[in-house]
Chains A and B, each alone.
Chain A
Amino acid sequence: MRSDPSDYQLVAPGSLHDAVSLLAAEPGAWLPIAGGTDVMVQYAAGKLTARKLLSIWNLPELRKIDILPDEIRIGAGCTYTDLREHEFVRRDLPLLASAAQWTGGIANQNRGTIGGNIVNASPAADSLPALLVYDAELVLISARGERRLPYFGFHTGYKKTQLLPDELIRSVCLPRRFSTYVSYARKVGARNAQAISKVCIAALGLLSSGAADTPRIEDVRIALGSVAPIPFRLIETEKTIQGKMIDRGLLTLAKQIAGREIRPIDDIRSTARYRAAVAGNLIVEFLARLRATGEQAGEPGAIV
């Protein structure tokens, strides 16, 4: 343990209101800490530069899930376990439920939060590709009020976000319109559990019910982790394959465009070449399964 606890302040306001008031009073001075699964690792390693921490763990306003007709609003303080165990998240947002299951072991799932995952902004984070393909929106809160913005674009660079110094994420809002889509998620790590991803993918696809011939891609959304400085939605690839039939040629094309879009690197966990190859394979696997479900009479919403 390489830090001295006496060097740090940690306060735990009992309410969201008090938390944002403190942030407003001293913007940038307080680092919010929720479940601590990232911050406390840095702290123990002697690498935590912040000295004043604001605990937002278990604030009731942040740790709830609201089900609305068109949207599921997940409080930023919800843990991965909260997500895994919630009936509606499992049913309507299977990519997010899968990611939650793959993040760390049980103990870290009981403490890690979706808000923390977003703000920590690791490009390897497991849940974030799911948020991208679900077109999530974030509600940010400060003493000045709330604002709502698309999650796409929230990450502005490696570990940088649009969050202002006096803001917290209040909730993550996910539309409930993907239940007819085919979902595909996969995480590739160094081992089956408790691994930081080398590549991870979240994808949604919808085939058009074509007339006599092979169905075409009506809508496709693909996001990857660990292939760019930020969680990455493959807009170019999606545009290119949109509206097309899934045949061998399309798989090759998808791989090609994806290979040009992503920017994986060599790091302590893996290599750029490996990541690029596996990313391509995962996209192909997704499209192949999308096509396969199209060939089976109507199995919407299947998680493959």
Chain B
Amino acid sequence: MANDRIIGKPVPRKEGREKVTGQAQYVDDMVLPNMLHGATVRSQVPRGKIKKITFGPGIAWDEFVIVSAKDIPGANCIALIVEDQPCLASEFVNHPEEPILLLAHPDRHVLPKAVAAVSIEYEALPAIFTIDESEQRSEIIWGSDNTFKTYLVEKGNVDLVWEQAAFIVDGEYCTGAQEQLYIENNGMIAAFDPAHGITVWGSLQCPYYVHKALMKLCDLSEAKVRVVQMETGGAFGGKEEYPSMIAGHAALLAMKSGRPVKIIYDRMEDMVATTKRHPSRTRHRTALDKDGKILGGEIDFTIDGGAYATLSSVVLSRGTIHAGGAYYWPSIRIRAKAVATNAPPHGAFRGFGAPQSLFALERHMDRIAQTIGVSPVEIRRRNFLKTGQTTTTDQAVHEPIDLDTLLDRALELSGYAAKRERFVAQNETSTQKKGMGIATFLHGAGFTGSGERYLSSLVAVEGCAEGTVRVLVSSTEFGQGTKTVLSQIVAETLGLRYEDVAVAQPDTVEVPNSGPTVASRTVMVVGKIVQSAAQGIKQTLQAACLLGDSYSPEEFRTACRNYVSTHGAFRSLARYEAPAGVFWDDAKYRGEAYAAFAWAVYIAEVSVDLTTYGVTVDEFVALQEVGKVLHPILAEGQITGGVAQAIGMTLYEKVIWQNGRMQNAQLTNYIMPTSADLPRIRVFFEELGNVHGAFGAKGIGELPMDGPAPAIVNAVVDALGIPFDSIPLLAEDVFEALTAQASPPGEPQLAGGRR
């Protein structure tokens, strides 16, 4: 690539100095004069009708601001896709911890007692908690049939493949809920005055989602709602839709009291009440020819959406489209549905449906391999998508991706063959069983199908008085490097110094709507629009004869200063343009689902300790083709962080449910990996470019979440020779499976004894 002055270089993180000195301002670091603290009174039953609310003795209730559904000026809903989720429950509750009342007081310490003193009587209604119960429909808790959404993807003619099949392989795979576990809990501050309306400051990913929700909730016009993103301490999707709820709560208290209100969740509240990754169940039935080539298959993909629709339809969509993975399916039928249960609604979490369906697929590929008697490597080689072939949604692969060679490279990097040989030998006698596992997959970046067109993202780049340039986007920084990479893009595009570019704090009063910061779209999609807008700045200066065709950064600064002193600060706007030749049929669920796919091969090396039944990942190789690496440190950080989170999802993080409520809502009992738990995560990139992404980049934020779970479980299966089809996979699960499999109770071993 010609432009590699700043692109591809490890420039310092834009807001890094503030972060390492403790100066960065997160929402809880902010205090407003006259501010109240808010708290939420929540349902203690999974489903029921609210009969009576009593404010108990011992609390000076007159000191509190109290808000109920009756105080909502606009519509009592959190506007997102379907408007079924109330901001505050009024008559019915549909999940434990559903918000019912809001309290505010100047002294945050008195709130927990006050919350505890509100007693609510319910008439309990039958509640359901699993996908199975929801499907049975003995109790209808949502709509007419407990189903938020369904999709059907069909390609070829799957009903004909069974007769020709040499092999038919079935499998069922399950994934559990996972808590995003951003280290900064959800928080929001709201202030209201009748002249300006509502302003909220908070920890969030999508200022305009919050903006839209507040307009509807508070019955305020666009200009009367302002949303400002504070430094955000991790998000991972957990702050995609939930902030609209907490912002709504803070706003209602602010409107009623006339004072600013801060609501900060503690860890327990954040874990019990906010969104988690959708649990899933995938059933595969696959027909293969005698050589193990896929003839076709049926996939039944179901996710548990919790009590309200929120984003389940979109999670379902991505999971559905990724369900066939990186293979060629001549025929396929994918039936997908999102169903309701009486749990707090599940929501966005990095990967967004793809980790679920890809776990199933990659485990299934190994099952197929074992059934027909070929290696996990070979089964994949025989079925990889090739350039010119089409995906399950009939999207042709145009780029020269060669998954065979990518797999070769990963096998070499991981020492796969030699290690497996060694492990097979040493497993005979060792109490540490070792195995290797592979996952090969893809991840589509940007909104699915016509989503980007629908978003119609708008960005602005501004020329400033000092001669510097400012990027105005609603895309937020929450650690992934938004500010840094967008600055790199502009600096490279305009030939400026990196230091001459800044990214404005996302504030809806100032920045246009560049869409939500989700779907791995910020660098690839928004970055490309930012590039266009930046060029507009240059064109303006050149048209004013202040700048030649080529210039130095100093000359640019001078030109910009001159222009601004004459005309004032000026902006160049650019809007998303749908790439030509990218068509998606929403009705048939077919066509170009994503502008670009990134491709990956992940290989896990594991040990299973037969004394403790614990699984340890000893080493992990993550190789991915990502278009172009715009910042080597940030890109690597995204992969290692995503792999770590996925290792957590696979081996450590289990949500323990009881009647729809998370029981282990503390960090003592919800286990995420520490620095002492993770292996060396070795990251490698390949770059094929991407005509649809800024400087050839593809989105990579979510990709690393897709591969580790199946790679690790495949490795465990390799080590132990028994199947595991469900995550999280804890030591207790390994123990139960080994016990069930052993016919006589295992004899105790002296050192060197056989298994």
**What residues of chain B lie closer than 8 Å to A44, measured between beta carbons?**
266
**Interface-facing stretch out of B7-15, B17-25, B607-615:** B607-615
In the complex, identify which listed stretch (A86-94, A146-154, A219-227, A283-291) lies at the interface while the others stay far away.
Answer: A283-291
Please, which residue of chain A has its CB at the minimum distance from the CB of B652? A191
Q: When chains A and B are docked, how far (Å) is the Cα of A282 from the Cα of B613?
A: 12
Known contacts A251-B748, A274-B735, A278-B735; 6 further A-B pairs (Cβ under 8 A): A46-B116, A191-B677, A193-B676, A248-B748, A251-B750, A288-B749
A4 B109 Cβ-Cβ under 8 A: yes
Chain A residues positioned under 8 Å from B666 (CB to CB): 45
Per a CB cutoff under 8 Å, which of B663, B677, B732, B736 touches A193?
B677
User: Is A278 a contact of B613 with CB atoms below 8 Å?
Assistant: yes
B611 partner, pick from A192, A285, A291, beta carbons under 8 A: A285
Q: Are A268 and B663 in contact (CB under 8 A)?
A: yes
Known A268-B663, A291-B750: A273·B735 in contact at CB below 8 Å? yes
* A269: nearest chain-B partner, CB-CB: B669
Are B677 and A192 closer than 8 Å at their CB atoms?
A: yes
Task: Determine the chain B residues whose CB is within 8 A of the CB of A285 once the complex forms.
Answer: 611
For window 696-755 of B, CB contacts with A under 8 Å fall at 730-732, 735-736, 739, 747-751
> Considering the complex, which residues of chain B in the window 671-690 have a beta carbon less than 8 Å from any beta carbon of chain A?
671, 673-677
Q: Least Cβ distance of A10 to chain B in Å?
A: 15
Contact A271 B614 (CB under 8 A): no
Q: A195-B671, A268-B669 are in contact. Are A188 and B750 (CB under 8 A)?
A: no
In the A-B complex, the 8 residue pairs with the closest CB atoms: A251-B748, A193-B676, A4-B109, A192-B676, A2-B112, A284-B748, A281-B611, A190-B671
Distance of A285 Cα from B668 Cα, bound (Å): 28
Q: Which residues of A contact B110 (CB under 8 A)?
A: 4
A105, closest chain B residue (CB): B674
- Docked-complex contact A274 and B668, CB < 8 angstroms: no
Contact of A281 among B610, B652, B674, B730 (CB under 8 A): B610
B268 interfacial by beta-carbon distance below 8 Å: yes
Is B751 touching A270 in the complex (CB atoms < 8 A)? no
The reply to whether the CB of A196 lies closer than 8 angstroms to some CB of chain B is yes
What is the CB-to-nearest-CB distance from A276 to chain B, in angstroms, rounded to a whole number? 10
Say yes or no: A277 contacts B652, CB within 8 Å. no
Complex interface: chain B residues within 8 A of A289 (CB): 751
Can you spell out 7 A-B residue pairs with CB atoms less than 8 angstroms apart? A4-B113, A44-B266, A190-B652, A191-B676, A252-B748, A281-B610, A281-B611
B contacts with A, residue count (CB < 8 A): 37
The reply to whether B266 and A268 form a contact with Cβ atoms under 8 Å apart is no
Separation of A125 and B673 alpha carbons in the complex (Å): 21
- CB neighbours of B652 from chain A (8 A): 190-191
On chain B, the residues within 8 Å of A179 by CB distance are none
A292 and B753 alpha carbons, distance in the complex (Å): 13
Q: Are B735 and A277 in contact (CB under 8 A)?
A: yes
**B544 at interface (Cβ–Cβ under 8 A)?**
no
- Chain B residues closer than 8 Å to A46, beta-carbon distance: 112, 116
Q: How far is the CA of A204 from the CA of B321 in the complex (A)?
A: 58
Residues of A within 8 A of B731 (CB): 188, 198, 274
The answer for the CA separation of A220 and B747 in the assembled complex, in Å, is 22
A251 CB to closest chain B CB (Å) equals: 4
Per the 8 Å Cβ criterion, residues 169-205 of A in contact with B are 188, 190-196, 198
Q: Are B613 and A268 in contact (CB under 8 A)?
A: no
* A5 on the B face (CB < 8 A): yes
Chain A hits for B663, CB < 8 A: 268
Q: Are A248 and B676 in contact (CB under 8 A)?
A: no
Cβ proximity bits A228-265 to B, threshold 8 Å, 1 near / 0 not: 00000000000000000000100110010000000000
- Shortest CB-to-CB span from A96 to chain B, Å, is 21
- Which single member of A2, A271, A288, A291 contacts B732 (CB below 8 Å)? A271
Closest residue of chain A to B750 (Cβ to Cβ) is: A288
Q: Which of A123-149 contact B (CB under 8 A)?
A: none
* CA distance in complex: A195, B671 (Å): 8
A191-B676, A278-B613 are contacts. A270–B732 as well, Cβ < 8 Å? yes
Distance to closest chain B CB from A103 (angstroms): 13
Question: Which residues of chain B are near A191, meaning CB under 8 Å?
Answer: 652, 671, 673-674, 676-677
Interface membership of B257, Cβ < 8 A: no
The complex places the Cα of A45 from the Cα of B656 at a distance, in Å, of 19
Judged by a CB distance under 8 angstroms, whether A3 is at the interface is yes
Taking a contact as CB atoms under 8 Å apart, the answer to whether A6 and B109 are in contact is yes
**Chain A proximity mask over B81-117: 1 for CB below 8 Å, otherwise 0:** 0000000000000000000000000001110110010
Q: How far is the CA of A278 from the CA of B738 in the complex (A)?
A: 13
**For B730, what are the chain A residues with a Cβ–Cβ distance below 8 Å?**
190
CB distance from A123 to the nearest CB of B (A): 15
Asked whether any CB of chain A lies closer than 8 Å to the CB of B664, the reply is yes
Closest A residue to B673 using CB positions: A191
Interface residues on A, range: 35 or more
Q: Which residues of A contact B669 (CB under 8 A)?
A: 196, 268-269
Chain B residue numbers with a CB within 8 Å of A194 are 674
Q: Are B736 and A268 in contact (CB under 8 A)?
A: no
Please tell me which one of the listed residues B113, B664, B674, B751 contacts residue A192 in the complex, with CB atoms under 8 A apart. B674
Is B747 within 8 A of A3, CB to CB? no
Contact of B664 among A3, A4, A268 (CB under 8 A): A268
A251-B748, A281-B612 given as contacts; is B736 within 8 A of A273 (CB)? yes
Is residue A211 within 8 Å, beta carbon to beta carbon, of the partner chain? no
Other-chain residue from A45, A105, A195, A288 in contact with B268 (beta carbon distance below 8 A): A45
| Interchain CB contact under 8 A, A277 and B750 | no
Residues on A with C-beta less than 8 A from B668 are 41, 196
Q: How far is the CB of B689 from chain A (nearest CB, A)?
A: 40
- Residues of chain B lying within 8 A (CB to CB) of residue A282: 611
A273 to B735, CA, bound (A): 9
The smallest C-beta distance from A264 to any residue of chain B, in angstroms, reads 12
A248 to B614, CA, bound (A): 24
- Contact, CB under 8 Å: A252 / B671: no
Distance in Å from the Cβ of A225 to the closest Cβ of chain B?
A: 14
Contact across chains for B747 and A248 when beta carbons are under 8 A apart = yes
Nearest CB of A to B666, in Å:
8
In the complex, A268→B730 CA distance in Å? 13
Contacts of A284 in B (CB 8 A): 748-749
Contacting residues, chain B, for A212 (C-beta < 8 A): none
Q: Which residue of B lies closest to A250 (CB)?
A: B748
Q: Which residue of B lies closest to A192 (CB)?
A: B676
Which residues of chain B have C-beta atoms less than 8 A from A292's C-beta?
751
Chain A positions within 8 Å of B739 at CB level: 273, 277
Nearest to A190 among chain B residues (CB) is: B671
**A274/B613 in contact, CB under 8 A:** yes
Q: Which residue of A lies closest to B614 (CB)?
A: A188
A188 near B677: Cβ-Cβ < 8 Å: no
CB distance from A279 to the nearest CB of B (A): 11
A107 is an interface residue with CB less than 8 A from chain B? no
> Hey, which chain A residues are within 8 Å of B750, CB to CB?
248, 251, 288, 291
User: CB of A68 within 8 A of chain B?
Assistant: no
A297 close to chain B: CB less than 8 A: no
- Complexed CA–CA distance, A115 and B668 (Å): 22
Per-residue CB contact flags for chain A residues 146-168 toward chain B (1 = under 8 Å, else 0) read 00000000000000000000000
Q: What string of 1s and 0s marks CB contacts (under 8 Å) between B643-665 and chain A? A: 00000000010001000000110
* Chain A residue with the shortest CB-CB distance to B674: A193
Taken together as a complex, chains A and B put the C-alpha atoms of A255 and B749 apart, in Å, by 11
CB closest chain-B residue, reference A292? B751
Query: Cα distance A99–B675 when bound, in Å?
Result: 19
A272 vs B748: C-alpha distance in the bound complex, in angstroms?
19
Given contacts A273-B736, A278-B613, A288-B751, contact A5 B109 (CB under 8 A): yes
CB distance from B123 to the nearest CB of A (A): 28
Of chain A, the residue at the smallest CB distance from B672 is: A191
B112 and A3 form a contact (CB under 8 A): yes
A residues near B674, Cβ cutoff 8 Å:
105, 191-194
Chain A hits for B614, CB < 8 A = 188
The smallest beta-carbon distance between B16 and chain A, in angstroms, is 25
* CB of A8, distance to nearest CB on chain B (Å): 11
* Closest partner residue, chain A, to B110 (CB atom): A4
Q: Using Cβ atoms and an 8 Å threshold, which residues of chain A touch B116?
A: 46
B266 contacts A2, CB within 8 Å?
A: yes
Per the bound structure, the CA–CA distance linking A193 and B610 in Å amounts to: 20
